[in-house]
Structure 1
Amino acid sequence: MTSPPPTTARPRRVRAVGDRALLVECADLADVLALHAALTAASLPGLVDAVAAARTVLVRAADRASRDRIARALPDLPAARRHDAARGLVTIDTVYDGEDLAAVAALTGQSRDAVVAAHAGQVWRAAFGGFAPGFTYLLGAGLDVPRRASPRTVVPAGAVALAGEFSAVYPRASPGGWQLIGRTDAPLWDLERDPPALVRPGDGVRFRAVRERVAATGAPRRPAVGPAPESAGSPPPDLPYGALLVLAAGPLSLLEDLGRPGRADLGVSPSGAVDRGSARQANRLVGNDRSAAVVETVLGGLELRAHGTQVVAVSGAPAPLTVLDGDGEPRGHPPTDAPFALRDGEVLRLGTPPYGLRSYVALRGGLAVPPVLGSRSTDVLAGLGPAPLAAGTLLPVGAPPRAAVGLPEPGRVREGGLTRVTVLPGPRADWLTEGSLDRLGRREWVVTDRSNRVGLRLDGPPLVRAVETELPSEGAVAGAVQVPADGRPVLFLADHPVTGGYPVVAVVRDADLDALAQVRPGERVRLGLARQAAARHPGV
């Protein structure tokens, strides 16, 4: 099996994606794979990720200067074509009872049985990965259908789906806008398998229709944490620097560091702390390296008991802090954004912050849980990293750093019901009508309660798209503002999918992303369009 023959009907076009990425439009899939191979081989300084998609390659850089250097280097990259030999044939047993099967039949003018026969009666070619770990875009023929007008907030793990000319299997529960035609229990992603992805680019895939799902376990495995000690005394001997015992986790508490960039080809987003600046500040206050793991907690309710005396700092949303002694009596109320001691057996309790959403708890020495793919971050979309914290979780503390404890610093989170950020026109700004692009930046949008670490869902009068055709899936970045067919924007955050199929009409400046991490549901945001970049066609 080889890549399709190349065509060179038009040159590659390069569009800006915010201030740290580029979208390169290619002639065809063969051109996509060739450019991706050339970028991978070139090892350009500042290149973080190159994400192949249906007709484009997304290039993500470390900063704006690196992005601009890479843009200048693109014309000089070699034009050699890559031909991938087939690695083999993967068979996936599938029950064809998806809730969109009837809709797909109507869209294609076929019966349900004919749709199943067309899907199961061909060998699909695995073209590229993306969206989520283990999610592979499979190229076939005869079943070209649009995405749903509005994406589902949760698509079940194992769902077999169609969108455009592609089919795929959702490796785990996640948001998605593809048409669901069936389900499987095949383990698409398994960190204990080498490689972890069941289907890789170049593979052939055949779906075999069955009546019942087979038993299989494809859920991502979480790193285990140690058992809780029996008392609040000295930590176990295998935890020489002590630990924290979680007594209560609040609404949601996760371990996060600065993420796992550079793995988008595996379908793995950078993830990491949503408010990176607050996480770095908490680490700085206790003398840690900026990338040490911290606890990211939402709206207070977190309680942690110290095993061994620890140095702690809390930054981000200014949660009221209370330290309780071994008898449960209040000992004091340390300030946020300053280091303080938490003695052996004492408990730190975080109350509900008066404003802001996420607080960050750093321990001197960091939290020494096992890394997954180079990071201790929990990615809620991909299911990677440590499980969410729960009562009884024991968090070992790492060796203390050489750097001194820091001085108190001003808090980073500001009070206010309206958060203003600057956006740059996205690569698909021309998919909105002129008036809708203007309204995107002029009006205030309400953050809905369907928002999370994956992204903010914004509510307001729907925007009007100027282009109603389907957009082939292409790479996405944190800060991307997508507009589904229903006209209500979705703004990607840290755990966003690697690729998406709705047009990105604007991109938040990287420097403004931290502010969005602290916006609560029901609050308002304004996406101010950067004056110097308000071109309808923001090409580079």
Structure 2
Amino acid sequence: MNPRVRWVGERAFLVEFASLDDVLAFQVRVTADPIAQTDQVAAARTVLLTFATARQARRAATRVGEVELTPIPNIDRRTEIIDVIYDGADLVEVASHTGLSEEAVVAAHTTSTWTAAFGGFAPGFAYLVGGDPRLQVSRRESPRTAVPAGSVALAGEFSAVYPRSSPGGWRLIGRTTATMWDIDRSPPALLAPGDLVRFRAVRERITAAAVAGTQVPDARAATTAALRILAPGPMSLVEDLGRPGRAYLGVTASGAADTASARLANRLVGNARAAAVVETLGGLSVRAEINVILALTGADARAELRRALPAESDDDGGPRDELVEPGRTLPRNRVPVRIPAGTPVLLRAGDDLALGFPDTGLRAYIAVRGGIAAPDALGSRARDTLSGIGPDPLRAGEVLEIGSSAVTSVEEPSAEAPLAGGDTAALRVRVGPRDDWFVSDEIAHFFDTVWVVSSETDRVGTRLTPADGTRPLRPRTGDLPSEGTVRGALQVPPSGEPVLFGPDHPVTGGYPVIGVVADADLPLAAQLRPGTRVRFVRS
């Protein structure tokens, strides 16, 4: 067996197969006997393997042909029974499209033994295959803006259950109260690749299970209230280095968008490199409840410190150096002091720190000695804005606690992480995996064009438009089956305007990826603000 290997950046590649059966067999084998991958994502015709280092990826690429593709007998697989009330909004249309009666549609759906082929789209969303071929229907021409959680649906050769309310264009035939995703369950996904599924028609809704995705504070060491949020700004989040290794469940790694700045901030205050920090676009202001050491990195948000004036002074007129009762309101020094980025700063209890909005770059980071002690979700304190996993965005009045992540003395690093300035930013790109969806002239046009970051930018992705009216790209027409993707991928939709995937990108995508930004340039990509000009350089 010599499957085709398509590289996806430096540390990942797609293994491409001729059939879904080969995909499923390969997925089961490499899950049971890994070839050094940190994660794998199966799709309709490919399996994406991701590795910790480029060297591991290169070695593994020579071994994929050795993986056995003998199908796994059903007797060795787990079977899940899901109760369904078949009253979906599209049941009548499905019957019309298939030429079956509504009763026959239900019978075909319930007598089939489905297989969870792969995850994607959202945590807990499993693409089920192996159903009655008469049930193959197209997606809706106009997707719904909100599909209720628990909706049972059909699209193409697949069936699925929506784990949470989300947009979607699948045909809805029923509903279930089965909890497809519960972050407090182990494993959190009800269905894993390779599981068998049988649907059972029921007349009445069974007792509702626990709401999927709820989170409870994790058991952790004692913490201390440290920073009170006075104003959160438009998007201030708790982030760490993310939760890699769960893409097969539909959960992306997430984590700090600019990992270089997050690590630098932690190093400045003596924290472990993976300690949680605050990521902000600016406009954040906090008040110290106790004496804390913090550092700011990333975009220069023009931070200003207003010292609290103690009620009394020493005999020599100097301020008392003592803790202030948490929550106590003290007079503020009317003259703010600018706090430089990249330097540890002591905030005394009662001091206020206010961040403006960066003139250069996009995201600033605040590390506090001890690390932010937010609730743990799947082994990480990172907020995934696409799936809703992790701590909620910061709110006014909330108090952040710190833990015990400090491991070293405070140090001065040698250099700050790079930021995108007013000139054109250059990002190195490795072509592929779907460069064959573009003629050679289009590849050249991609690298010759100066692109502009549009206002459509967030942690999921950044849309790029041609500068000076240059035409967008022209991918070939056709349907590309959804396949696994990575952070830094440049996906090209039919509009021809590339979308640069960020840390909260979807696990799978259905548009061709023309190239992937080099790992070393991802921190710079995370600092691209709307209006920034970008040029790509072939790597």
The TM-score, its normalising length taken from structure 1, stands at 0.83
For residue 463 of structure 1, the aligned residue among 465, 470, 473 is: 473
The CA deviation string for residues 192-235 of structure 1, in whole angstroms up to 9 with x for no partner, is 33432233442324385989999776442244599xxxxxxxxx
Which residue does 1:309 correspond to in 2? 291
User: Which secondary structure does the structure 1 equivalent of 2:248 belong to?
Assistant: helix
The verdict on how the C-alpha distance between 1:213 and 1:120 changes in structure 2, with shifts beyond 3 A counting, is farther
The CA deviation string for residues 82-106 of structure 1, in whole angstroms up to 9 with x for no partner, is 23435132123465336x997x899
The CA deviation string for residues 69-128 of structure 1, in whole angstroms up to 9 with x for no partner, is 111222333444323435132123465336x997x899x586996996698565343222
The whole-number CA distance in structure 2 between the counterparts of 1:481 and 1:208 is 43
The verdict on how the C-alpha distance between 1:312 and 1:293 changes in structure 2, with shifts beyond 3 A counting, is same
For residue 73 of structure 1, the aligned residue among 50, 63, 76 is: 63
Residue pair 2:261, 2:416 contacting (<8 A) in 1 also = no
Residue pair 1:255, 1:293 contacting (<8 A) in 2 also = yes
The whole-number CA distance in structure 2 between the counterparts of 1:522 and 1:134 is 36
- The answer to whether residue 111 in structure 2 is matched with residue 128 in structure 1 is no
Residue pair 2:254, 2:504 contacting (<8 A) in 1 also = yes
The verdict on how the C-alpha distance between 1:151 and 1:303 changes in structure 2, with shifts beyond 3 A counting, is farther
What letter matches 1:97 in structure 2? A
Count matched residues.
Answer: 503
Q: How does 1:65-464 map to 2 (within 5 A)?
A: 65-84=55-74, 85-93=77-85, 95-97=87-89, 120=109, 123=112, 124-139=114-129, 140=131, 141-144=133-136, 157-158=149-150, 161-173=153-165, 178-181=169-172, 184=175, 186=177, 187-201=179-193, 202-206=195-199, 218-224=211-217, 241-298=224-281, 300-324=282-306, 325=308, 326-329=330-333, 330-399=335-404, 401-407=406-412, 409-410=415-416, 412-416=418-422, 418-460=424-466, 461-464=471-474
Residue pair 1:426, 1:504 contacting (<8 A) in 2 also = yes
CA offset at residue 482 of structure 1?
Answer: 1.9
The verdict on how the C-alpha distance between 1:294 and 1:35 changes in structure 2, with shifts beyond 3 A counting, is same
Which residue does 1:54 correspond to in 2? 44
Residue pair 1:223, 1:385 contacting (<8 A) in 2 also = no
Which residue does 1:488 correspond to in 2? 497
CA offset at residue 372 of structure 1?
Answer: 1.3
Residue pair 1:172, 1:382 contacting (<8 A) in 2 also = no
Residue pair 2:233, 2:284 contacting (<8 A) in 1 also = yes
Q: How does 1:474-513 map to 2 (within 5 A)?
A: 474-513=483-522
The whole-number CA distance in structure 2 between the counterparts of 1:137 and 1:481 is 24
Compare 26-35 and 258-267 and name the one that shifted more: 26-35
Compare 114-123 and 70-79 and name the one that shifted more: 114-123
Unaligned runs of 5+ in 2: 309-329
The whole-number CA distance in structure 2 between the counterparts of 1:393 and 1:208 is 46
Residue pair 1:239, 1:396 contacting (<8 A) in 2 also = no
User: Which structure has the larger Rg?
Assistant: 2
The whole-number CA distance in structure 1 between the counterparts of 2:472 and 2:205 is 41
Compare 122-131 and 421-430 and name the one that shifted more: 122-131
User: Which secondary structure does the structure 1 equivalent of 2:422 belong to?
Assistant: coil
Q: Percent identity?
A: 46
CA offset at residue 292 of structure 1?
Answer: 0.5
Which residue does 1:229 correspond to in 2? none
Residue pair 1:311, 1:342 contacting (<8 A) in 2 also = yes
Which residue does 1:519 correspond to in 2? 528
CA offset at residue 62 of structure 1?
Answer: 1.1
The CA deviation string for residues 22-50 of structure 1, in whole angstroms up to 9 with x for no partner, is 100124233223322332333444x2112
The verdict on how the C-alpha distance between 1:433 and 1:277 changes in structure 2, with shifts beyond 3 A counting, is same
The whole-number CA distance in structure 2 between the counterparts of 1:515 and 1:182 is 45
User: Which secondary structure does the structure 2 equivalent of 1:134 belong to?
Assistant: strand
The whole-number CA distance in structure 1 between the counterparts of 2:464 and 2:159 is 28
The CA deviation string for residues 368-409 of structure 1, in whole angstroms up to 9 with x for no partner, is 223211111111112111111111222211126241112264
Residue pair 1:101, 1:181 contacting (<8 A) in 2 also = no
The verdict on how the C-alpha distance between 1:240 and 1:519 changes in structure 2, with shifts beyond 3 A counting, is closer
What letter matches 1:464 in structure 2? R
The verdict on how the C-alpha distance between 1:428 and 1:303 changes in structure 2, with shifts beyond 3 A counting, is same
For residue 13 of structure 1, the aligned residue among 4, 8, 12 is: 4
User: Which secondary structure does the structure 1 equivalent of 2:275 belong to?
Assistant: coil
The CA deviation string for residues 451-498 of structure 1, in whole angstroms up to 9 with x for no partner, is 211111233444323241x22222111112222334332221111122
What letter matches 2:4 in structure 1? R
The CA deviation string for residues 494-514 of structure 1, in whole angstroms up to 9 with x for no partner, is 111222222222211111111
CA offset at residue 264 of structure 1?
Answer: 1.5
The verdict on how the C-alpha distance between 1:462 and 1:414 changes in structure 2, with shifts beyond 3 A counting, is closer
Residue pair 1:11, 1:26 contacting (<8 A) in 2 also = no
For residue 25 of structure 2, the aligned residue among 26, 34, 59 is: 34
Compare 128-137 and 204-213 and name the one that shifted more: 204-213
User: Which secondary structure does the structure 2 equivalent of 1:65 belong to?
Assistant: helix
- The answer to whether residue 5 in structure 2 is matched with residue 22 in structure 1 is no
User: Which secondary structure does the structure 2 equivalent of 1:406 belong to?
Assistant: coil
Which residue does 1:7 correspond to in 2? none
The whole-number CA distance in structure 2 between the counterparts of 1:503 and 1:153 is 24
The whole-number CA distance in structure 1 between the counterparts of 2:405 and 2:243 is 23
The whole-number CA distance in structure 2 between the counterparts of 1:334 and 1:146 is 57
User: Which secondary structure does the structure 2 equivalent of 1:456 belong to?
Assistant: strand
Residue pair 1:95, 1:211 contacting (<8 A) in 2 also = no
Residue pair 1:21, 1:58 contacting (<8 A) in 2 also = yes
Unaligned runs of 5+ in 1: 1-9, 227-237, 531-540
The verdict on how the C-alpha distance between 1:44 and 1:215 changes in structure 2, with shifts beyond 3 A counting, is closer
The whole-number CA distance in structure 1 between the counterparts of 2:30 and 2:537 is 33
Residue pair 1:321, 1:349 contacting (<8 A) in 2 also = yes
The verdict on how the C-alpha distance between 1:111 and 1:33 changes in structure 2, with shifts beyond 3 A counting, is closer
The whole-number CA distance in structure 2 between the counterparts of 1:454 and 1:154 is 19
The CA deviation string for residues 416-455 of structure 1, in whole angstroms up to 9 with x for no partner, is 2533212222221112233333322222333333321111
The whole-number CA distance in structure 1 between the counterparts of 2:489 and 2:267 is 29
User: Which secondary structure does the structure 2 equivalent of 1:439 belong to?
Assistant: helix
The whole-number CA distance in structure 2 between the counterparts of 1:337 and 1:392 is 27
The whole-number CA distance in structure 2 between the counterparts of 1:161 and 1:450 is 30
Superposition RMSD in Å: 3.3
User: Which secondary structure does the structure 1 equivalent of 2:39 belong to?
Assistant: strand
